[in-house]
Amino acid sequence: MSEMQALHLSKEDFEERILPAQTALVDFWASWCGPCRAVGPIVDRLAEQYDGKAVVGKVNIDEEMELAQQYGVSTIPSLLFFQNGKVVNTLVGARSEGEYQQALNELLS
């Protein structure tokens, strides 16, 4: 069985998967960003840990600039937490896995 990974989101996927979700986490990143590469595996682990509880995805800002602009993402990595289609929390910069888990758990409680 292969490890689950976060969804690689296009604008269309974003509207179909993230906005209708009760709880979602989206990592805005870019391949040239060092801290983003550190956060990437954490986001994939969160996708596995929260499977069935929260939708976890990634948006490459080089491919989806419009989404990044729409959500005011100017610094990466930026992890946006959504509840019922609205951003309810944002963590900017590389953080620990525990911080991301805590933010998700607060939304799920």
Catalytic residue among 36, 59, 61, 79: 36
Treating both helix axes as pointing N-terminal to C-terminal, what angle do 97-108 and 34-49 enclose, rounded to 10 degrees?
40
Average pLDDT in the 73-87 region? Answer: 97
Nearest 5°: the CA angle 57, 80, 47 is 30
- The domain spans of the chain are 7-101
Active site residue 105: no
List Cβ neighbours of 103 (8 Å cut-off, separation of 6 or more).
25, 79, 81, 89, 91
The pTM is what?
0.94
For residues 89 and 102, is the Cβ–Cβ distance under 8 A? Answer: no
52 in catalytic set: no
Mean pLDDT of the chain: 95
How confident is the model at residue 15, as a pLDDT?
Answer: 94
Which range has the worst mean pLDDT, 4-13, 32-41, 46-55?
Answer: 4-13
Sheet-wide strand order for 78-83? 7-8, 55-60, 23-29, 78-83, 86-92
End-to-end CA distance of the chain: 29
7-101: in CATH 3.40.50.2300: no
pLDDT of 19 over the 90 cut? yes
Would you tell me how many other CB atoms lie within 10 Å of the CB of residue 97? 14
Residue 54 pLDDT: 97
- Structure confidence at residue 21 (pLDDT): 96
Q: Is the pLDDT of residue 9 over 60?
A: yes
From 33, 73, 80, 91, active-site residue: 33
- The alpha carbon dihedral of 43, 45, 49, 51 has a sign of positive
> Does residue 1 register a pLDDT over 80?
no
